C-alpha cells in the first residue's frame, strides 16, 4: 500500500482502520517523542516500504526495536480515539476527508454488513435500514466527499457482491443493498468519465473471512454447505479479492470503468 496517496480504508463494519495521510502524521509525532525529527516529505519518500524497513532506513539500528512497538500502539490508539467515524454518518465522513487533505487518488469502499438473514416478510425494518445505511449510504458518502478531491487518473473501487447479481436465499436486504452499489457504480462511472476518474466494482462470492465464521457460529449455517455451492469446491480468499481491487485501482485497468469484476469461483456462471 502506498501511504503517500491518502488511501482511506474502513473495515467490514464501516469503521476507519487506516488512512495514509493520517498514518504519516502519527508516525511523525511518535518519532518526535523519541527525539527524532523528520518532515512529512522525508517520511513520504519512504512510504512504499514496509514500516520496519522504513525505520531501519531512517534510524540508527538499536533504536528500531524501541520505536516499533510504540509506533504500532500510537497508531492504533489515534485511529481508535480520534478517527473512528462510521461510514453512514455524514458529518464524520465529511470531517475525515477534510482531515485527509486536498487529494485522494484511490478510494476503496469495502465496508459492508449482512444485517439480516431472512426473507422479506420477516426482515425487521431496522435490519433493512442498517444494510442500506452501511452498504449503500456509506459508499455514497465516501464517494461524495472523495470525488471533489480526486484528480484526473484517480480511481474508485466499490466492493459489491454476487448477491447483487443473482438471488441468494435469505439475503433479501443484503442483496438489495449490494445491487444498489452496483447500479451506483455504473452511474458514477458515467457521470465522472469526462473528469478522468474511473469507477468500478468487485463482486466477491463467498470468501473465507471471520465474517463467514460469524455466519456459521451465530446463524447456524453450515460451512460444508457454503463450500459445496462453490463450483471450484472451495471458498475464496481475501487475497484473491484484494488482487482484483488492486488491479481495478491501478493503471493496468486504465480502460475499465463502470465494470463489475466477479470473483466468485464460478458461482454466477454455473
247 is catalytic: no
Grid cell in block for residue 141: 458518502
Half-sphere exposure of 138 (CA within 13 A, CB side): 30
* Residue spans of alpha helices (H) in 83-222: 90-100, 125-131, 138-146, 172-192, 210-219
Cα separation, 3 vs 86, whole angstroms: 21
CA 157 to chain centre: 9
Dig out the grid coordinates for 179 from the structure.
Answer: 445491487
Question: Which residue out of 27, 128, 140, 174 is catalytically annotated?
Answer: 174
- Residue carrying C-alpha cell 466477479: 262
All 3 cell numbers of residue 7? Answer: 488511501
Whether 199 contacts 255, CB under 8 Å: no
Q: List, by residue number, the catalytic residues.
A: 174
Amino acid at each position: 500500500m502506498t501511504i503517500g496517496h491518502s488511501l482511506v480504508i474502513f473495515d467490514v463494519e464501516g469503521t476507519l482502520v487506516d488512512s495514509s495521510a493520517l498514518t504519516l502524521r502519527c508516525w511523525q509525532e511518535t518519532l518526535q517523542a523519541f527525539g527524532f525529527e523528520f518532515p512529512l516529505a522525508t517520511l513520504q519518500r519512504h512510504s512504499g516500504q514496509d514500516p520496519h524497513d522504513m525505520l531501519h532506513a531512517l534510524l540508527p539500528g538499536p533504536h528500531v526495536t524501541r520505536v516499533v512497538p510504540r509506533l504500532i500502539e500510537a497508531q492504533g490508539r489515534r485511529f481508535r480515539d480520534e478517527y473512528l467515524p462510521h461510514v453512514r454518518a455524514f458529518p464524520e465522513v465529511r470531517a475525515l476527508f477534510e482531515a485527509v487533505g486536498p487529494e485522494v487518488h484511490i478510494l476503496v469502499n469495502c465496508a459492508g454488513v449482512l444485517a439480516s438473514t431472512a426473507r422479506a416478510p420477516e426482515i425487521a425494518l431496522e435490519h433493512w435500514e442498517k444494510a442500506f445505511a452501511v452498504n449503500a449510504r456509506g459508499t455514497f458518502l465516501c464517494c461524495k466527499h472523495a470525488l471533489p478531491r480526486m484528480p484526473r487518473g484517480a480511481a474508485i473501487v466499490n466492493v459489491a457482491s454476487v448477491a447483487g447479481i443473482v438471488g441468494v436465499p435469505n439475503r433479501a436486504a443484503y442483496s438489495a443493498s449490494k445491487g444498489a452499489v452496483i447500479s451506483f457504480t455504473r452511474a458514477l462511472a458515467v457521470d465522472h468519465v469526462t473528469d478522468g476518474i474511473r469507477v468500478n466494482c468487485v463482486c466477491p462470492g463467498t470468501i473465507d473471512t471471520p465474517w463467514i465464521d460469524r455466519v456459521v457460529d451465530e446463524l447456524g449455517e453450515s460451512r460444508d454447505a457454503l463450500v459445496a455451492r462453490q463450483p471450484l469446491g472451495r471458498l475464496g480468499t481475501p487475497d484473491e479479492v484484494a488482487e482484483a481491487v488492486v488491479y481495478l485501482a491501478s493503471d493496468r485497468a486504465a480502460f475499465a470503468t463502470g465494470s463489475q469484476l466477479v470473483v466468485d469461483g464460478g458461482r454466477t456462471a454455473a
